[in-house]
Amino acid sequence: MDEPIMAVEGLTVKYGSHIGCKEVCFDLYPGEVLGIVGESGSGKTTLLNALHGRLEPSHGTVKYRTRMGGMDDIHAMGEPQRRLLMRTDWAYVHQNPRDGLRMAVSAGANIGERLMGVGWRHYGRIRDNAVGWLEDVEIDTERVDDSPATFSGGMQQRLQIARNLVTNPRLVFMDEPTGGLDVSVQARLLDLIRTLVAEKGLSVVIVTHDLAVARLLSHRLMVMKSGEVVEQGLTDQILDDPQHPYSQLLVSSILQI
């Protein structure tokens, strides 16, 4: 079996007396999609942000396997090293695409900026790559010079995905990537994400309130309640035969999440 790309041990985040997440442990493997589900306030997004380095944990470790092969604790890294990871190895797809795009520059520039951030300097190559990625995410390439502000919500989300994946990251964090979109738009976006994840062998951690999204995209599932992981395992296993009472409530849709 491959070695894990990320190993999490005892991860806990506290806000004063409030616990955002508590004693979370798991390994994530190359090419694996891990879904995190639970009702609002369950700690899903807190956990995602602690994994990404946006939140400092109260205790516990998040270790990442770098391209050199070593497992480094991301919260013990220097800020320059962590920023480099975020430009190269990692990507973060926001629920609201406007949080992940620069709305004042063109669609092509949104993609090109990330390439320039990792050292690309040839304008022609950058533009060609941006056009290729627009095609990959099903945006009309003639819109390469258009502002994202003129795009629909679904197109903005696809552009955000292109901007994030252009540097060939190994690990992608997704926070409710289909939230707020119409059902038909969601379906197209989910098909796109699933295709890109498979083709590029990405490891993904995805937070979602939608169990249908979790079933479609994730190989493994973690169910959170009040900051704790109450059940984890293969996605189909948990959704078809949940063991914890809270998981059973989620699956039976008694709880509105």
Nearest-angstrom CA–CA distance, 160 and 114:
11
Give the helix ranges, DSSP H, for the chain. Answer: 44-52, 79-87, 107-117, 123-136, 153-165, 183-200, 211-217, 235-240, 245-251
**Angle formed by the axes of helices 183-200 and 153-165, nearest 10°:** 10
CA atoms within 13 A on the CB side of 132: 10
pLDDT at 257: 44
Beta bridge partners, 37, equal 223
Closest CA to 175 of 57, 92, 232, 103: 92
Residue type at 105 in one-letter notation: V
List the domain boundaries for the chain.
1-89+169-257, 98-168
pLDDT at 205: 96
Place of tokens 């999490």: 8
- By DSSP bridging, strand 6-15 and strand 18-28 are antiparallel
Instruction: Indicate the length of the chain as a whole number.
Output: 257
pLDDT at 168: 87
Q: Are 114 and 147 in contact (CB under 8 A)?
A: no
Closest CA to 134 of 160, 173, 170, 105: 160
- By DSSP bridging, strand 71-73 and strand 59-65 are antiparallel
SS (H, E, C) 95-133: CCHHHCCCCCCCHHHHHHHHHHHCCCCCHHHHHHHHHHH
pLDDT at 1: 53
- Architecture of the CATH domain 1-89+169-257: 3-Layer(aba) Sandwich (3.40)
Closest CA to 192 of 163, 172, 168, 217: 217
List per-block mean pLDDT (blocks of 10 residues) for the chain, which spans 257 residues: 89 90 95 93 92 92 90 90 87 92 93 81 84 91 94 92 90 88 82 87 91 91 95 95 92 62
Q: Are 134 and 161 in contact (CB under 8 A)?
A: no
Nearest-angstrom CA–CA distance, 20 and 22:
7
Phi, psi angle pair for 78, to nearest 5° = -70, 155
pLDDT at 17: 83
Phi, psi angle pair for 121, to nearest 5° = -130, -15
